[in-house]
Amino acid sequence: MASSGSASWVILARLLFITLAATANGDELSASYYEKTCPNVQHVVRSVMASSVAAQPRMAPAVLRLFFHDCFINVYKHLYYCYVYSYLH
């Protein structure tokens, strides 16, 4: 029973450390965040949004969500989980 409790504390401590490490990296949101990694991202998003809205105006929120969540967030999550996996193993 004691080993189960201590294992829980170790897991909790690791999660806390990972959370603090992820939030303390100093990366802030900025308009120029993708200038180095994807320099034409604004052009791509703007042209796809313009053609989508021209074809069907109600599609604008869905396409914008697609770019933000499915492209940008998932790339960050993939890189973050690779870092966490390499740290824990």
Q: Which sequence positions are flagged as catalytic?
A: 69
CB 60, CB 49: distance < 8 Å: yes
CB 48, CB 66: distance < 8 Å: no
27: annotated binding-site residue? no
Of the candidates 62, 82, 75, the residue with the CA atom closest to the CA atom of residue 34:
75
Coil, helix or strand at residue 54:
helix
CB 44, CB 58: distance < 8 Å: no
Binding site membership for Ca(2+): which residues? 70
Binding site membership: which residues? 70
